[in-house]
Amino acid sequence: MVTLSVLDLVSVRTGQTSAQAVAASMALAALADDLGYERYWFAEHHNMPAVASTSPAVLIAAAASRTQRIRVGSGGVMLPNHAPLIVAEQFATLEAMAPGRIDLGIGRAPGSDPVVTHLLRQSGATSDVDRFPQHIADIAAIMSPEGATMRFTSGGEYAVHATPNAASSPEIWLLGSSDYSATLAAQFGLPYVFANHFSGQGLERALELYRSQFQPSAVLDAPRTFLTTNVVAAPTLDEAEQRALPQMRMFAKLRLNQPLTALETVEAATAALETVTDREREAMALVRSRWMIGTGETVRAELTKFATQHGVDEVMVVPVAGAYGAEDRAASFGREQTLRLIAGASALRV
pLDDT at 214 over 90: yes
Q: What is the largest CA-CA distance in the chain?
A: 71
Q: What is the DSSP letter of 165?
A: T
CA distances from 42 to 8, 52, 200 (A): 5, 10, 19
pLDDT tens sequence across 87-112: 999 999 999 999 999 999 999 987 66
pLDDT at 347 over 70: no
pLDDT at 348 over 50: no
pLDDT at 125 over 70: no
pLDDT tens sequence across 170-200: 999 999 988 999 999 999 999 999 999 987 7
pLDDT at 126: 67
pLDDT tens sequence across 146-155: 999 888 877 7
pLDDT at 350 over 70: no
SS3 293: strand
Buried b (16+ CB within 10 A) or exposed e, 283-321: bbeebbeebbbbbbebbbebbeebbeebebebbbbbbbb
What's the pLDDT band for 61 if we cut at 50, 70, 90?
A: very high
Give me the domains of the chain, ranges plus CATH numbers.
Answer: 3-346 (3.20.20.30)
Output the pTM of the full model. Answer: 0.94
pLDDT tens sequence across 273-290: 999 999 999 999 999 999
SS3 306: helix
